[in-house]
Structures are given as C-alpha cells and as structure tokens.
Amino acid sequence: MGEQGRPSSTVPVSRVVTVVLPGAIVVGAGPSGLAVAASLRRMAVPCVVVERSDGIAELWRRRTYDRLSLHLPKRFCELPHLPFPRDFPTYPSRRHFLSYLIRYSRAFAIEPLLRCTVVSATFDPAARLWRVVALHRSPPSELAEVADVGGPVAVEYMARWLVVATGENAEPVVPKLKGVAGFRGRLLHSSEYKSGVVFEGQRVLVIGCGNSGMEVCLDLHEHGAWPSMAVRSGVHVLPRKMLGTSTFGLAMKLLKWLPVRLVDRFLLAMARLVLGNTEVYGLRRPEVGPLELKASTGKTPVLDVGALRLIKNGSIKVVPEVESLTGTGAKFVDGKEMAFDSVIFATGYRSNDCDLFSEDGKPRVPFPEGWKGKKGLYFVGFTGRGLLGAGADAVNVARDIAREWNKLSDCKNLYARQAP
C-alpha cells in the first residue's frame, strides 16, 4: 500500500473495473468491520464492506477450537448498538458468538462483498480519494457482465474514506525453530486445532502459555492426551473471578478511582490468595503488573479456566523454552530432551497489512489515537483491547467520518464529477 501513483496488480483477471463509492470502504468482515459498518449505517453514511473469505467472522468460523468461550463476561464483548440476547450465558461459547454476529449483520443489513481480496490501496492526492484494488473471485451480479465465465474481476474502488478492520488476528504467528523440517510427528498452529479427540493417547507439546495455550492443554487432557506446555517468558495468571465478580469487571471499576499500578498490586495479591504462588509450578510472573504490561506490550494476562489445577497436579507439564525440535520430540534450553508425537504452536497472531503497521503488527500510531490515520485512513481493532476496544474504535471512526460526510452537503455531485 502506498500514497502515490496508481496501483497495479499482477494477478490474472478478466478485466479491471473502476467503481466510485459515495462513502467509505471497510476492509474486513470480522467483529471490527461489522461494528464499523453498523455504526456508519446508524449515522446514514454509506459504506461497502469487502471480505477475502466466503463469510463473515472467518477467525471465529474456521480458526477457533470447539470448546472456546469468551474469556470476558458478555457485557464486555458485545458490539455497539446491539446487546447479546438475555438467554446467552455469562461467557458465551464460540457457537453463541457466531450466532450473535450473524444476527448483528442482519440487524444492520450488512452484506459484505465476499471472496474479495484487497491487493493494493493508494491515496490519490489530486482526487483526494483512496484507490483500493480488490480481486473478486466470485464477482457480484452487477459485475458479472464484465467477467469471463468463472473468471475473477479486479475492481478499483475509489472512496474518500478507507477503514482497515482486518484485525490483529489476521495471520498466525509461527516462530522459526531449528529442526522443524526434521520432526516426524504432526505440526500445527492453534488456529488449526479443533479438538483434542484426535490426539488421544499422544504426547503433545504446546508451545506458548497464553490463554490459547492454557486452554488447548486443558482440552488435550480432557480428551486423553498427555500435554506439556513450553514457557519462554513470564506470564500473569489470574482467576477468572474475584470477590464474586469477574476479574476484568472488577479491574475496570477500580481503574476509575485508582492508578493502574495500585490496581495491579491488588490483582496480584488476590491472585496469590486464590491461586497460590504460580512460580513454583514454572509460571514465573513478569516484573511489570498485568494491566501495565497489557497497556505497554499488548500481552494479555491469562484468565484461568481450569488449566492451573491440572498444572498443579502434574496432568499438564510445564517445560522450559524450546531450543529446537528433533526427529522425535524437542530439545529445551536447559539441555534436556523429551519425546512428543505432536507439536502445537499456540503462539498468537498478527496483522497482515504490513505497509500500514510496524514489524510487530501493531498500528504505528499508538492507543488511544491508533484508530485514526491520515487522509481519510482509519484502523479498527488494532489497539490490543479486544472486542470492547474494537467497538469503541468503531464508534469513534464512524463519528469522525460522519462529521466530514455531513460537511459535504453536495457530496453526491462532487463524486459524480470525479467519476471516470
């Protein structure tokens, strides 16, 4: 992506078509993109949503494990303008959340252009428009007449506003380890993991000790596998509930009155009281508190859903950082080796919009202004604050665009004059 010149694509297409949009183009139909589109609709700003997969919320449909439930109470995870149904549990399951997203898209008449991959985005300073080239693998009916039978169509969308909502979890992160090519067992990322049922009786190494790593280990154990979890750095493990309420909700209340470091001290004291000293089980705590660490690095504390009990009784083994894989297992930084049948990388995700983000996949403009770029470019869902943060970003973006949209009283005539 760039800011000068006309973009080009080497992808073979039947024809390139130019379409001028009176409003915004939103890239991504996950929770962030849907929240932006809904907020824009409520403010009477037209928008088009493009999505590379064949449906909304690809991550939740295809790259999450079966037992997954939201780690935070539902009131902190609902998108703007539409609450969760009252009969949903406090911690909605993956299935609940997907049904909610489908209901959400229907409620606001959001119909993304599916199987549509953005290949470039360039700001045209003369026209003051974004030129977004997207490859339609299944062209919509209005473009069918310019497409060969079964052939893709490249469309250059011209829009005043571009909202990037592809999210922080667009691409799996897999660390480069020595010996990967020689490992004779099964290798996969947690995005490919569905259930521990296929690992019954296996010795499985899970690399990563975040929420996904912990829960995958729990699921493996429940399906008869023998999980080991490799821990490279410190991790904050907190109970899901404190004093009869959610840990996250309690922290949010305390932050209204107390500085973050004082709240961190309270959370750690309560965690030690409820969970005990996790360091004796190989889970060393970072020197920086959980909330301060989250704000500075984006690293989320683990909310325990049952894995810690299994770590304490030895059902889940905690092992050191992996130095390399061998043909039959792994060698650790302490020099010891263990045999494994499978290795699962629970090592997280990153953004795939490389030109717009820093090397670690984060917006170059930090929170709280990370949602706003320049020249009509916006970001939603990249501030490391989960669904709650994405919803707030979406409303901020929609309001900002709506202010400009309302100033352009002759907007339609303006775009008509600029149309090719």
Question: What are the structure tokens assigned to 141, written together?
Answer: 């009916």
Angle between helices 94-107 and 31-42 (to 10 degrees): 30
* DSSP 8-state assignment for residue 231: -
Question: What are the structure tokens assigned to 56, written together?
Answer: 């909304």
DSSP 3-state assignment of 33? helix
Residue 10, pLDDT score: 47
Positive/negative CA dihedral, 82, 85, 89, 95:
negative
Residue 3, pLDDT score: 38
> 16-169+350-418 belongs to which homologous superfamily?
FAD/NAD(P)-binding domain (3.50.50.60)
173-348 CATH choice from 3.30.70.2740, 3.50.50.60, 3.40.50.10540, 1.20.970.10: 3.50.50.60
User: pLDDT tens, 341-366?
Assistant: 999 999 988 776 545 443 343 455 55
Distances (CA, A) of 276 to 245, 263, 290, 318: 19, 19, 16, 16
Tell me the C-alpha distance between 333 and 323, whole Å: 5
User: pLDDT tens, 169-201?
Assistant: 778 889 999 999 999 999 999 999 999 999 999
Q: Are 236 and 287 in contact (CB under 8 A)?
A: no
Question: What are the structure tokens assigned to 282, written together?
Answer: 């190989």
Mean of the per-residue pLDDT values for the chain?
88
- Does residue 262 have a pLDDT over 60? yes
Tell me the C-alpha distance between 177 and 323, whole Å: 7
Tokens 């824009």 -> residue: 40
Return residue ranges of the chain for CATH 3.50.50.60: 16-169+350-418, 173-348
- Does residue 270 have a pLDDT over 80? yes
